[in-house]
C-alpha cells in the first residue's frame, strides 16, 4: 500500500482505544529501527520530520527513505511534518509528498492561529494531506522549537470547539503539562487530565495529539552516563500516565527524545566495550537494534497499537 494520511489511522485509534506512535526521524538507522519494530508488532505508525531534520537530511532523502520503508514493510505509514512554522513550510512538505503536516502557530494570537491553520488546511486538503494544529504551548527546548516555562500555557478547553470548526484541521495538539526534551519535570510528573477530558468532551470523536511524550527511561540515562555521557535530572512521562492519556482519546503520541537517548546510549556502550571498532555499521547497528527493542515495547505496552495495522488499511 502507498503512504497514507492520518484519517483512517486516527479513526481506528479512537474506536480501538489505542494511539498511533509518531516517531521523529533524521537518518536511515532511526527509520529502520522504528519500521522494523512496527512491522514485528503490526502497528500503524507516523514517521515525522522536523524542519531541522529536513535541514540535516534533505527533504527528498527523507521522502525516499520513507517510500522504501513503506514498500519494505507493507504497513500503513504516514509521513508527517512536525512543527511546521508557517504556511510556506507546510506547503513545502505537501509539495514534496508528505501525507500529513503540522502547522504550529500556537505562538500567535488565537485569531491569527485560526487564520494560519485554516490557510494550511485549505491548501493541504486539496492534495488529501491531513493537518494537525496546536492550541496552548508546550515548554521545552529542541533545535527549532524553544519555549521557556514562562511562555508555555495550558490549552483552554473553551477555545477548542471554535478553533476546530473555524480551521477545518484534522487533529489538535493540546498542552496538558508535557514538554519537549529530556527534562520535563523538576518534581513529581503531573499532567492536567482534567483539561484533556474537558477538551475531549467539547470535540468528541476528534483526534487529540500529545507532544512531548517521551518517557526518558532511567536505565538508558544510566547506560549513557556509565559509558561517558552526561545527563543529570532527566525525567519524562511515566508509561502509566501515557496509558491514561491514550484511554482519554489521545490518538497520536509524539516521541523523539527517547529515540535519541536509547540510540545514543547503545552507541556509547558499543564504543566503550569495543574500542577497536571503527566501522559505522558496527556501532550504528548496535544503536538500531537497541532502539528497535525499545520501540516494540512502546507500541505494545504504552500505546496499545500492536496488531492494529490491519484496521488502518
Ligand atoms: O518537537 C520537536 C522535535 O523533537 C524535533 O526536534 O527540531 O531538534 O529535530 P528537532
Ligand atoms: P519528546 O521531546 O518528549 O520526545 O517530544 C517530541 C515531540 O513532541 C515532537 O514533536
Ligand atoms: Zn512536538
Question: So what's the pLDDT on residue 169?
Answer: 98
- Other beta carbons within 10 angstroms of residue 64's beta carbon come to 12
User: How many angstroms is it from 276 CA to the middle of ligand 1?
Assistant: 33
The DSSP secondary structure of 41-90, one letter per residue, reads HT--EEEEEEHHHHHHH-HHHHHHHHHHHHHHH---EEEEEEEE-SHHHH
Cα-based angle 220, 255, 47 (whole degrees, multiple of 5): 125
**pLDDT tens digits, one per residue of 39-95:** 999 999 999 999 999 999 999 999 999 999 999 999 999 999 999 999 999 999 999
On the CB side of 178, CA atoms within 13 Å amount to 27
Q: At what angle do helices 193-202 and 239-247 cross, to 10 degrees?
A: 20
**Which is the closest atom of ligand 1 to the Cα of 144?**
7
**Which is the closest atom of ligand 2 to the Cα of 213?**
3
> What pTM does this model have?
0.96
Between CA 197 and CA 1 the distance in angstroms is 35
**Assigned C-alpha cell, 228:** 561517558
| Segments in the chain below pLDDT 50 | none
Asked if residue 180 has its Cβ within 6 Å of ligand 1, the reply is yes
Question: So what's the pLDDT on residue 147?
Answer: 64
Asked if 21 and 251 count as a contact pair (C-beta separation under 8 A), the reply is: no
Among residues 3, 2, 17, 23, the alpha carbon closest in space to that of 306 is found at: 17
Question: So what's the pLDDT on residue 152?
Answer: 73
Question: So what's the pLDDT on residue 150?
Answer: 63
Q: Check if 36 is active-site.
A: no
Task: Give the active site residue among 36, 82, 170, 256.
Answer: 82
**22, 46, 104, 211: which to mutate for ligand 2, most atoms within 8 A of CB?**
211
Amino acid at each position: 500500500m502507498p503512504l497514507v494520511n492520518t484519517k483512517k489511522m486516527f479513526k481506528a485509534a479512537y474506536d480501538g482505544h489505542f494511539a498511533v506512535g509518531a516517531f521523529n526521524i533524521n537518518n536511515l538507522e532511526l527509520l529502520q529501527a522504528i519500521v522494523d519494530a512496527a512491522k514485528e508488532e503490526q502497528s500503524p505508525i507516523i514517521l515525522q520530520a522536523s524542519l531541522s531534520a529536513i535541514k540535516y537530511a534533505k527533504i527528498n532523502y527523507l521522502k525516499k527513505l520513507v517510500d522504501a520503508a513503506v514498500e519494505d514493510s507493507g504497513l500503513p505509514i504516514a509521513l508527517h511534518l512536525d512543527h511546521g512554522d508557517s504556511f510556506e513550510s507546510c506547503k513545502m512538505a505537501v509539495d514534496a509528498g508528505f501525507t500529513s503536516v503540522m502547522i504550529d502557530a500556537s505562538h500567535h494570537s488565537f485569531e491569527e492561529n485560526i487564520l494560519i491553520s485554516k490557510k494550511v488546511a485549505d491548501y493541504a486538503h486539496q492534495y488529501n494531506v491531513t493537518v494537525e494544529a496546536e492550541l496552548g504551548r508546550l515548554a521545552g527546548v529542541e533545535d527549532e522549537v524553544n519555549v521557556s516555562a514562562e511562555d508555555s500555557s495550558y490549552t483552554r478547553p473553551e477555545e477548542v470547539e471554535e478553533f476546530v470548526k473555524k480551521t477545518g484541521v484534522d487533529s489538535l495538539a493540546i498542552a496538558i503539562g508535557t514538554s519537549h526534551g529530556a527534562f520535563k519535570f523538576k518534581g513529581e510528573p503531573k499532567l492536567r487530565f482534567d483539561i484533556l477530558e474537558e477538551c475531549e468532551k467539547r470535540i468528541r470523536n476528534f483526534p487529540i495529539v500529545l507532544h512531548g511524550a517521551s518517557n526518558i527511561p532511567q536505565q538508558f540515562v544510566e547506560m549513557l552516563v556509565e559509558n561517558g555521557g552526561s545527563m543529570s535530572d532527566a525525567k519524562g512521562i511515566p508509561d502509566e500516565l501515557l496509558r491514561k492519556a491514550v484511554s482519554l482519546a489521545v490518538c497520536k503520541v509524539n516521541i523523539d527524545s527517547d529515540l535519541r537517548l536509547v540510540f545514543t546510549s547503545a552507541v556509547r556502550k558499543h564504543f566503550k566495550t569495543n574500542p577497536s571498532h571503527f566501522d559505522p555499521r558496527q556501532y550504528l547497528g548496535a544503536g538500531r537494534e537497541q532502539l528497535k527493542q525499545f520501540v516494540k515495547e512502546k507500541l505494545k505496552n504504552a500505546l496499545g497499537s500492536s496488531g492494529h495495522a490491519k484496521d488502518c488499511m
